[in-house]
Structure 1
Amino acid sequence: MDLLSWTFADPDVQADKPILIDAADPTRSLSTAQLRSQVRRLIAGLQDTGIGPGDCVLVNAFNDVFYSVLYFGIMGCGGIFTGVNPAYKPAELAHHIALTQPKLIIAAPALLPSTLAAAAQCGLPPSAVYQFDLAPSSTTPGVQSWTSLLAPNERSWIIPADPATAPAHYASTSGTSGLPKAAILPHSYHVSQASFLSSSAATLPYTPIRLTALPPFHVFSTPIVPSSIRSRIPTYIAPRLDIPSFIATVSTHGITETYLAPPTIVALGANTAATSGTLRSLRQVWFGGAQLARPNREPLLRALHPNAAIQPVWGMTEAGWVTAGRLADTPDDSVGCVLPGYTVRVASDGELLVRGPALMLGYLRNEEASAAAWGDGWLRTGDVGREEGGKVWVVDRAKDLLKVRAWQVSPAEVEGVILAHPGVADAAVVGVELGDGSGEVPRAYVVRAAGGGGVSAEEVRQWTGERLARYKVPEEVVFVDCIPKNPTGKVLRRVLREEAKNERPKTEGEAVVVMEVTETQSRVGARHTYSG
């Protein structure tokens, strides 16, 4: 079944009750009937504009109750939805535009400068950019409003001949090298993901009320709204995670379920306002994007309902949710149980491989990466671990990919930006653990260029911050005499990661000997200067 037919399968059941609600202003809401009508009007408007099957439409906006109108409407006219992180800088956005080749872009007014700059760089005219102006005060003169795409009449959505092969979504995913790729996700992928949340909600010992502040284009988030509509679960939408607002929404509206990144769980557990009884209604907190040890969950868990659970989700853009915790299970350090329809096996080298009911179709315009993602019909996850009794434990990552505040970061992408600085001769990026169990941050190892004027750590960070999203900017910069590489020139990230683990300099400006490279790597003792 296609995603829209599955989501709106029962159009008359509780159709007039608010289903998507603005967390900051609950008077702003959409019922299922209102949402369905808005989606059908957008379908008609997009088709009248010339958007049809196979055409991509890009959305660059913060989460909102009306974001789902765009999401469903684009897919409903036969188009392919793609969303981007609002933190993207023009160069990152231009890469995504060049890759996905959208015919039309819808952007929040605050994001129009970077969006128009990136669109122009890719040869997309300003007339193809619409503003997602949700309030009169936010409009930008001279840019078309997205409301002009809402036709006065409604039109039914297109039902693809084969939902298992019909692309619905180009989802950005960072690889271990180079710039981010786009995974091609079919309708069946999203239906299988939403089906799990919908079926699990049917057996809960409480009435679910949801709150999400997740990016709506991220695959950790995409099952939430379709399953909420299908199961008639009121869902409060926040544009971003703000801890005081989060606490107030949970307390005021009796939220029972929410979805968080590990650093937020750690932060909430240390927040006295969160641990003073305000979150007692919460029964399930799902987290994904990185692991979080049980001791780091405990402070927040004690602040929730006595029968609550903080549960892991393990997966990847290419496969969606593969495992998840179950409310009745005894807590452990696994990443949960394998979800129905999925199979996980361990390769001879320890890498976890996955088969599932509806995985990605491949990477857009990247046959080499698509072929490399599969091994004997199994999707490679890049994670090393084990499977026992239907549960999965993840112990390491085979890939170099970083997970920073649940966002994927390609070290090669960050390195490429740093290397473009005239004062830098060489660079490498690895992840270092924060130490509080909430994940890792990027650390850059930098070789200064001869005669480059002695570039500083702050200059490296500023240069990177002007070109990349904040979460990709190195939190730490270590200046070195050389970058360890093998005889073919490949950066030995393992050496750098071991150094970061075994020797964390304590004082800014302190020079320390932290690495000695083996003879096959030219046996160099490198002296480092730390700045963080």
Structure 2
Amino acid sequence: MIYEGPNLDVPAVDVLTFLFDDPNGRASDDTPLHAEARDPQRYITKAQLRNLTGCFAHFLRTEYAIGAAGPSKDVVVPISTGQSALAALLYGVIAAEGIYAPVSHSSTVDDAVRQIKDGPGKVIVCSSDAKDLAIAAAARVGLPQRNVLVLTSYPDITLESVNGEVACDFKKQLQWRKITDPKELEQSKICIYYSSGTTGLPKGVVLSHTNLVAEGSMLSSAGRVLLEEAKVQFRTLAHLPTAHAAALVCYFVNPIYEGGVTYWMPTFNFDDFLRYFGELKITSIFSVPPVFLGIAKHPAVKDQFSNLVIVCSGAAPMSKELQDAAKSRMKLEGLFAQTWGMTETSASVTWSTPTKTNTAGSVGRLLPNTKLRLVDEEEKDVSEGQPGEALVKAPTVVQGYHRNPEANKATFTADGWLRTGDILCMRGDELFVVDRKKEMIKYKAFQVAPAELEGIIASHPAVLDAAVIGVPQNYTEVPRAYVVLAPPAKGKISEEDIMDFVKSKVMDYKRLRGGVRFVDAVPRSASGKILRKELRERRKLEDQQSKL
């Protein structure tokens, strides 16, 4: 069975024309769009952002020949913490007809080198606090320091090489080439965002103009009505890693189209996060389950979230229990949505519909122009109401992976469906995430979803975080939990207490037969995904030590 979202007309234009000139965009030339959270009065308007885009594009073209040999050939590698001029850099790279391929500022030098070589990167642009990483990686790949630029947003916007040889003087601009040919838009390569690598090495995901325009249009059609009804301005707080696809959509595409301001934190700090929320009267936020877990349990949460109209969680499944607890602590009367998607779908595939009742724990309904199938191991459609791997077709689905034909063959079917690797279930007209296909625990003839158990464990008042993996036992696989206790609970709550708590809430085959291990922290990626491969390595060491 093929499930389909509603139809929506999406403009056939390049993403810069869409963001700056589309008549349905809400920003005027004097609308504030980007600012530092620490000093919100110093902001970048739409007119200033357009000017910065042209200046950065001219600088990259004239000094580094980005795009001089044609579009989609020259890779620019940003390594930056959050800052207000970063959007102008992205737009400038696109205007120069280069490819924007960010590396996480928290990467090791080896990780950064791997991605720069994959480009291959021609220029590195870093924030001042990532300069050492950028210089070390550049040296390893043979880039001169002239090709390592530092972008500064505060108190003044500057872009200059680390050796002081060249700097953007902001005197000349390069206007972007407007594109309306559908084939060229679909086949364009404007960004490479790397998948999280939770189960292997990160893969470069190639995004096009079509992908970003479709994602922006589709999300706007789903969420704009809530802001209009509440009669509030779109204001969001940028706190997620800038090299993640969620940041691309939530900070660089949606806000400018909705005519709202993005306030930037350099990196995430929960105390600052709470303080800025109250001070800046944030109305819309996308975040990840670990942040909502903090909101649900941190004693400093008071009334900081009183201005929120739209809340959305993504990047990893969130249990009904956690969603209800976080919503209660935020005293939220507006929409608390979950979205499901991946880098390969330009972020979101689903969204909670504002005009319909949304079930807690659901990831909502399909976005417009999106088709979905749920299939079994043989890629045959499952019966209605049964879980299956989600296959997706949509204008937001990317062309494939950068320089990785093997991954393309494994990820896309012969007739163009994207294999997501996620197990979903359709209940009524709402979708629910069961878990990752590769992470399902196979206990005898039963399938056990780690995400379900993690949600239950995290609902225990003494638990701050939890992760579950499968461990071998008696010729089958059983769930084992790694649990972070709140400091007051240490020494008072035992492993058996957690096991009994879970036992009281699940069917017999889902019990924690692999036991419980207390840990100081659950390993997670920068976007909040659990790094189960690290837990599996830990489990191997535990088993080896138990045999000594």
TM-score (norm 2): 0.72
Counterpart selection for 1:186 from 208, 217, 220 = 208
What residue number does 2:270 align with? 243
What residue number does 1:118 align with? 137
Q: Is the 8 A contact 1:38 1:150 kept in 2?
A: no
What residue number does 1:502 align with? 514
| 1:392-413 CA-partner distances (Å, limit 9, x unpaired) | 22212113599xxxxxxxxxxx
Aligned in 2, Cα 1:84/1:145: closer, same or farther, shift over 3 Å? farther
Deviation, structure 1 residue 306: 4.7
What residue number does 1:163 align with? 185
What residue number does 2:327 align with? 301
What residue number does 2:21 align with? 9
- CA separation in 1, counterparts of 2:467 and 2:518? 17
* 2:296 equivalent to 1:269: yes
Deviation, structure 1 residue 330: 3.0
| Aligned partner of residue 216 in structure 1, secondary structure | coil
Counterpart selection for 1:56 from 61, 75, 78 = 75
What residue identity is the alignment partner of 2:194? S
* 2:370 equivalent to 1:342: yes
What residue identity is the alignment partner of 1:189? N
Deviation, structure 1 residue 186: 0.7
Aligned in 2, Cα 1:191/1:147: closer, same or farther, shift over 3 Å? farther
Q: Which of the two has greater helix per residue?
A: 2
User: Bigger CA drift: 337-346 or 198-207?
Assistant: 198-207
- CA separation in 2, counterparts of 1:70 and 1:142? 14
| Aligned partner of residue 46 in structure 1, secondary structure | helix
Deviation, structure 1 residue 442: 9.3
Q: Any residues of structure 2 matched to 1:32-181 within 5 Å, and which?
A: 32-49=46-63, 50-52=65-67, 53=71, 54-135=73-154, 143-144=162-163, 148-160=167-179, 162-174=184-196, 178-181=200-203
Deviation, structure 1 residue 315: 0.5
What residue number does 1:256 align with? 283
- CA separation in 1, counterparts of 2:102 and 2:262? 20
- CA separation in 1, counterparts of 2:281 and 2:519? 46
* 2:361 equivalent to 1:333: yes
What residue number does 1:373 align with? 411
Aligned in 2, Cα 1:377/1:176: closer, same or farther, shift over 3 Å? farther
| Aligned partner of residue 392 in structure 1, secondary structure | strand
User: Bigger CA drift: 145-154 or 33-42?
Assistant: 145-154
What residue identity is the alignment partner of 1:2? D
Q: Which has the higher contact order (CA 8 A, sep 6+)?
A: 2
Aligned in 2, Cα 1:26/1:361: closer, same or farther, shift over 3 Å? same
| 1:58-89 CA-partner distances (Å, limit 9, x unpaired) | 00001111000111110111110011111001
What residue ranges of structure 1 are gaps of 5+ in the alignment?
403-429, 446-497, 509-523
Q: Is the 8 A contact 2:27 2:258 kept in 1?
A: no
- CA separation in 2, counterparts of 1:501 and 1:123? 52
Deviation, structure 1 residue 195: 1.4
Aligned in 2, Cα 1:287/1:127: closer, same or farther, shift over 3 Å? same
Aligned in 2, Cα 1:506/1:171: closer, same or farther, shift over 3 Å? closer
User: Bigger CA drift: 65-74 or 15-24?
Assistant: 15-24
What residue ranges of structure 2 are gaps of 5+ in the alignment?
1-12, 378-387, 442-449, 472-509, 521-539
Deviation, structure 1 residue 105: 0.5
User: Bigger CA drift: 313-322 or 248-257?
Assistant: 248-257
* 2:408 equivalent to 1:386: no
Aligned in 2, Cα 1:254/1:245: closer, same or farther, shift over 3 Å? same
What residue number does 2:434 align with? 395
Q: Is the 8 A contact 1:133 1:139 kept in 2?
A: yes
| Aligned partner of residue 37 in structure 1, secondary structure | helix
- CA separation in 2, counterparts of 1:87 and 1:226? 23
- CA separation in 1, counterparts of 2:295 and 2:435? 26
Q: Is the 8 A contact 2:150 2:160 kept in 1?
A: no
What residue number does 2:310 align with? 284
Identity %: 26
What residue identity is the alignment partner of 2:209? H
- CA separation in 2, counterparts of 1:340 and 1:387? 17
What residue number does 1:467 align with? none
Q: Is the 8 A contact 1:314 1:335 kept in 2?
A: yes
| 1:229-265 CA-partner distances (Å, limit 9, x unpaired) | 1221222222222222222222222211111110111
TM-score (norm 1): 0.74
| 1:168-201 CA-partner distances (Å, limit 9, x unpaired) | 1011014576421101111111111111233334
CA RMSD, aligned part only? 3.3
Q: Is the 8 A contact 1:281 1:304 kept in 2?
A: no
Work out the number of aligned pairs and report it: 434
- CA separation in 2, counterparts of 1:74 and 1:56? 9
Deviation, structure 1 residue 146: 11
What residue identity is the alignment partner of 1:377? G
Deviation, structure 1 residue 92: 0.5
Q: Is the 8 A contact 1:345 1:387 kept in 2?
A: no
- CA separation in 2, counterparts of 1:176 and 1:210? 28
